[in-house]
Amino acid sequence: METEDKEIRGLIDDFKKHPGQFMFFLGAGFSSEIGLPIGKELADMLKKSFEEKGFLQKGADDTEEMGLDSLITLLLNKGISRDVICAEIKKILEGKRNPATNISGEDFFGLFYKIITEAVDKSQTPGQICIATTNWDEALSEVFGDKALSIYSGNEVVKRKEIESKRIVIYQLHGSIKDCKSLLLTNEDKSQIKEKERILWDSFKADADKRRIIFIGYSLSDEDILDVYFKARAGLENIREKDFIIVNREESKEEIEERLSENNLQDIADVRVLNAYNFLIEMKESMGLVTGEETIELQTEGKINEKLENGVIVAGYPLSGLTTLYLKYYSRLPDRKLCIERYKHNPYDKNSFTDIINGLRKGQKVALFIPEYTFEVYLDEYLEEHQNELQTDLEKDIDKYVVRHTVSKEEANEFLEKLIHKSKYKEKFDDDLKEAILNLVKQTERDGFVIPRNRETYPLKLLKDVFERTQKRFANNEQPDKIKKDLDRKIEVKDETEKLLDAGILLGMTQVGEEVPNLLRLIPQGLYEKVKRLSPSITFLLGIAAPPALALVAVASIFLEIKEYLEHRGEKRQPSLINICN
């Protein structure tokens, strides 16, 4: 679905490179896309509720065509308290379908979730991704869990100290339904946000000033958020790149452009008539994310079901489908939940992990999905940092919540067959090629460090990546025999390397080629020089046509990760390897 629009391609490329330099404005249409009532629909539901309670006369002419703001003003004038109105709005929103129950790579919310989390996890630059919305619902903070910090009127002072520890910051500019006092209910309330919510506004404005804004989900109910946008951009100078406002109708485009001109902001934003869903699809594909989701029933799921009632920690091999499991179970997980995809030590992830474990110690029900040795590292560090205050054997207490996630060969083969079934090249995937793909993906832990001794697992995300690259080679008219030979070489080097390291740390090398631009920036010059002598051997793993720079990046990046990992574990099991890294 690659667009021919150079501006859109440039926007997406900039986001891929520097996600921390962007802010997403989400309009009422975003909530509508995920199944929540907005504007007139919410007003009609609220009116019906108060008619049934006897506060409004059923079918009265003065309320028939009222919008949400006008209806709430009428209710307040009738002496109905803000708390009662808020409670009714909360009841309506919670009565609609949970916006995350059908999260997948195919639906609107699932696309947005994967784009943001992927950008956060793959970003090589510091900074946070900011999201601003005037919607009252908690869909965003619920699905991003402990990765994100939600700020609204009433909690902004307390939460400010946590901002630096999160990679995603959500500004709920008109309040959150979880705190009735925070809600800006009427047009009068909303018009005074800049004056009445000074701390919240200043924090939001400071972040908006440093970022390029992408506005998604504009609807006719969004006059208020347009006003917020205009106020945020008023007086801002030296805009290098225009903001991007997506609308679904030509009339909306003309209206916004007219209002931009009225506010002397005509040069600050590019307004486009686009399908927002298709725009997210294009972002996802450009970022290398797969749009289709194939699922199979895993043995792990039975174990998760057994523990869900009291809370669960799912630990598995990196790229084994932990995120897919998290999204599949999302609607059944407790409020305190977190999915960590990275298996590299990261302070943001560690802070989120600490929050989850603290919640568990307080008796809260939690859910955590995390790569297994990341879990072990963070838990070891937590136990060391809190050893003086622990009253019980926390490691033993936690173990009763843990599910060790592995994927059997039978499950992996079923998953691969589903992928092949949808491929236009399915006739070329013979039994030998399928076996080679499975053998390349297979991970075996020989010393019981991560997976019990001699047990195999087949990470499903890695399996999908290898399948996709094989499919692309068929599209480039490469012959099956050549592809099989390359896979066999990679399998041989992978197996020998695993024996050397006693761990499946090198699983990411099958996909390292796509990360070269980012990895090159991370490799210290000294390490770069020292691994030059190893590059000829590593080309076997990456294929005959791999350029020398790619081999250097592969060796150096893996050594860096091994070094960091061993340093955080405080282990000296591989002194010769650490010496090479140093």
User: Which residues constitute the domain of residue 129?
Assistant: 6-35+100-286
What per-residue confidence (pLDDT) applies to 289?
Answer: 61
Give the whole-angstrom CA distance, residue 108 versus residue 30. Answer: 8
- Say whether both 244 and 175 belong to one domain: yes
Q: What is the pLDDT of residue 541?
A: 45
CA angle (8 as vertex; 275, 24 as ends), nearest 5: 70
Q: Which of 479, 503, 527 is the last residue of a domain?
A: 503
Do 187 and 168 share a structural domain?
Answer: yes
Residues 464-496: tens digit of each pLDDT: 888 877 877 887 788 889 888 888 887 776 665
Percent of the chain with pLDDT over 70: 72
Q: Whole-angstrom Cα distance, residue 482 to residue 462?
A: 21
pLDDT tens-digit readout, 229-247: 887 787 766 667 888 988 8
**Do residues 117 and 221 both lie within one domain?**
yes
In the predicted model, what is the mean pLDDT of the chain?
75
Q: Are residues 379 and 414 in the same domain?
A: no
- Tell me: pLDDT of 551 over 50: no
Question: In the structure, what pLDDT confidence band is assigned to residue 147 with cuts at 50, 70 and 90?
Answer: confident
CA 297 – CA 255 distance, rounded (Å): 49
pTM, two decimals, is 0.61
What pLDDT sits at residue 238?
64
Average of per-residue pLDDT across 401-422: 90
Task: Please give the pLDDT value at position 434.
Answer: 93
In a domain, 558, yes or no: yes
In a domain, 296, yes or no: no
Lowest mean per-residue pLDDT among 31-35, 310-314, 347-351, 506-510: 506-510
Mean pLDDT of 92-98: 69
Q: How confident is the model at residue 503 (pLDDT cuts 50, 70, 90)?
A: very low
User: Is 519 among the domain residues?
Assistant: yes
- Which of 356, 381, 403 delimits the end of a domain? 403
Q: Do 262 and 117 belong together in one domain? A: yes
Which segment, 208-217, 449-458, 501-510, 529-538, is predicted with the most confidence on average?
Answer: 208-217
Which residue has tokens 């079901």?
305
pLDDT at 578: 38
Sort strands 456-457 and 443-444 into parallel, antiparallel or unpaired: antiparallel
- By percentage, how much of the chain surpasses pLDDT 90? 13
Task: Please provide residue 245's backbone torsions phi and psi, each rounded to the nearest 5 degrees.
Answer: -110, 120
Q: Is the pLDDT of residue 332 over 80?
A: yes
Instruction: For residue 47, count CB atoms less than 10 angstroms from its CB and return exposed for 0-12, middle for 13-18, buried for 19 or more.
Output: buried
Contact 315, 370 (CB under 8 A): yes
**Nearest-angstrom CA–CA distance, 347 and 335:** 23
Question: What average pLDDT does the segment 42-56 reach?
Answer: 84
pLDDT digits (tens, 9 = 90+) for 357-389: 999 999 999 999 998 878 988 999 999 899 888
Q: Are residues 10 and 125 in the same domain?
A: yes
pLDDT (tens digit per residue) in 418-428: 888 877 788 89
Which of 60, 80, 95 delimits the end of a domain?
A: 95
What's the number of domains the chain is made of? 5
Residues 430, 524: one domain?
no
pLDDT band for 497, please (50, 70, 90 cuts): low
| 26 and 45 housed in the same domain | no
Q: What residues contact residue 570 under an 8 Å CB cut-off, 6+ apart?
A: none
Give 526's pLDDT tier (boundaries 50, 70, 90). low
The CATH number of residue 231's host domain is: 3.40.50
Q: What is the pLDDT of residue 97?
A: 52
Phi first, then psi: give them for residue 93, nearest 5 degrees: -65, -40
Picking from 1-10, 318-327, 531-540, which range would have the lowest pLDDT averaged per residue?
Answer: 531-540
Query: In this structure, is residue 291 part of a structural domain?
Result: no
Q: 309 and 351, same structural domain?
A: yes
pLDDT the model gives residue 496: 58
